[in-house]
Structure formats: structure tokens, C-alpha cells
Amino acid sequence: MSANPRSYKTRAIVLRARNLGEADKIFTLFTDARGKLDAVAKGVRRAKSQVAGRLEFANEAQLGMHRGRNLDIITSADITHSRFASVTDPAAYATAHLLAELVDAFCEPDLPMPDVYALLEGALAALAGAAQPAALLPRFQLRLLDALGFAPPGDACVACGDSLAGHAAWADLDAGGLACERCRPHRADALALNAEDVANFQGLGAARSGRVRPVLNATPAAARAIDAFVNYHLGKRPKSRTMLEDLAHLPALREASQSANG
């Protein structure tokens, strides 16, 4: 039996933080015990704080917690994985922000979601060594939609149920899936996927243990369709996606300024 029923331990990933008063911070955490959670770390902005520096963005830590009246209090933190202590790649950092923003936006507070925890933990770990960090996003997003119950089925038309194998399809955002040629939405902006994109879409959404072989890299059309489903369910475009796109244009900007200066 626990010595203090108001104390508990949990693994947690830091999604974001904001200052509280003179010395405290409120952390938005994704925990394996209780899902998304806001918790206070007292005195964390003072130099002597044991917890300071351990709760940086995207770090994973084993936390000692105390249930408070309003917010829980972080009483101890032991680093499990420090993600950005040595990472200097801005694309990895921006991608991590998008992962955190999506988990934060989609997940209800105090609702344990072990699948989402494992997904976020795995994606953050993969980011560190990724040559193209943003390439992890399509599969992450589709697996996240799946964990939330929003996943668009990739194998059959969302309207008539006909198999899409070997066929082109169109993203029908309102219907929540891909539609065959007969059932496709007739809008100018409906995203089209050729047969190869449809197979890719299905592989991107596949669980590791499932019938369909999982795919890690997206075709451009499949990636666009997945972004569109995410935006649709979120009701907006994630802020971090703009940051990522700005980064993608940086080399071109740099070259342009160099040739202008040279």
C-alpha cells in the first residue's frame, strides 16, 4: 500500500510549459498514467531547483507527483530521455513541435491513452537520427488519427465500400475517408490519389502487427491527403506546420540572399 494515497509516479513527456508567478511553471505533460495533464513545478525557475533543466520541451521523465486541489504538483523528476540537449537540427525541433501540438490539441485531459503515449515516444526517438525528420509526419498523423478513432480506412470506398485496391481515389473529408471514382466529391479542391498513392496511404496507416505491411515514407499526394484529414478533424491548420514549411524554404532563401550579396 502506498504511503500517501495522493502521491503517484508516472512517465511523462513535456509538451509545453508556461510561467506561473515569480518562480513556478505549469507544464502540460503527456503521461502514461493519466494522459494529458497540467502540473505545477514549484520553484523551477530558481537556480537551485532540482527539477529545472530536466523538464525541457520533449524530454521524457519519470515524475513523482502529488495530487493537488486544482493542479497536480511535480515533486521529483528523473530524466529518461533528453531529446534536445544535443540536437541542433531545426527541422527535427520543428517536427517535434508539430507532434506535441497535435497530441496536445487532440487529447482530452486526464484520459489515459497508452497507444498515443507509445506513438509519441516512438516518434520522438526516431526524430533524433532522422535524415529528414518531417518525413516521419504522415505515418505519425495517420496512426494518431487511428488511435483517436478518426482513421480514414484506406482499403475501401468510404461511401459504397468497394475495394480501392488498384484504383484511384479522392479524399472525402466530410465523409472521413477515401472515395472511389463513382462516389468521389465533386469539388475543385478534392485531393486526388492515384493507385500507387492509395496503396501508400493504406501502408502508412497500417499497424505494425496488422495484415497490411506498414510503410514509413509517404508519396506527396498521400502526405497532402493526410494533412487535410488532420486539419479537418482539428478544425484548423496546426501552427507548427507553418514553422516547418518556412524551414523548408530556408535553403532557397539563403541561396537567394547569397547570390544577391555576391
92 membership: H or E segment, kind and range: helix 90-106
Nearer to Zn ion, 34 or 184 (CB): 184
Of residues 13, 180, 223, 225, which one binds Zn ion by CB under 5 A? 180
User: Taking the complex as a whole, how short is the minimal distance between the CB of residue 182 and Zn ion, in angstroms?
Assistant: 5
What residues numbered 18-57 form the site for Zn ion, per CB under 5 A? Answer: none
Contact 61, 54 (CB under 8 A): yes
Mention every residue, 6+ apart, whose C-beta is less than 8 A from residue 247: 90, 91, 94
From the list 178-186, 188-196, 207-215, 223-231, the region that binds Zn ion by CB under 5 A is: 178-186
Contact 36, 109 (CB under 8 A): yes
Contact 141, 33 (CB under 8 A): no
User: Taking the complex as a whole, how short is the minimal distance between the CB of residue 2 and Zn ion, in angstroms?
Assistant: 55
Nearer to Zn ion, 92 or 157 (CB): 157
Binding mask 82-111 for Zn ion (x = CB under 5 A): ------------------------------
User: With contacts defined by CB under 5 A, how many residues of the chain interact with Zn ion?
Assistant: 5
User: Taking the complex as a whole, how short is the minimal distance between the CB of residue 212 and Zn ion, in angstroms?
Assistant: 20
User: Taking the complex as a whole, how short is the minimal distance between the CB of residue 201 and Zn ion, in angstroms?
Assistant: 16
Identify the burial level of 138 via C-beta atoms within 10 angstroms of its C-beta, where 0-12 means exposed, 13-18 middle and 19 or more buried: buried
Nearest CA to 127 among 179, 88, 167, 166?
88
Of residues 33, 71, 79, 183, which one binds Zn ion by CB under 5 A? 183
User: Taking the complex as a whole, how short is the minimal distance between the CB of residue 259 and Zn ion, in angstroms?
Assistant: 51
User: Taking the complex as a whole, how short is the minimal distance between the CB of residue 162 and Zn ion, in angstroms?
Assistant: 5
Nearer to Zn ion, 177 or 203 (CB): 177
Mention every residue, 6+ apart, whose C-beta is less than 8 A from residue 15: 27, 28, 29, 30, 36, 57, 100, 103, 104
Residue 153 CA to residue 4 CA, distance in Å, equals: 46
Nearer to Zn ion, 114 or 161 (CB): 161
Residue 99 CA to residue 119 CA, distance in Å, equals: 10
Told to check if 190 binds Zn ion by CB under 5 A, we report: no
What residues numbered 134-173 form the site for Zn ion, per CB under 5 A? Answer: 157, 159-160
Distance of CA 1 to the CA centre of its chain: 36
Which residues make up the interface to Zn ion (CB under 5 A)? 157, 159-160, 180, 183
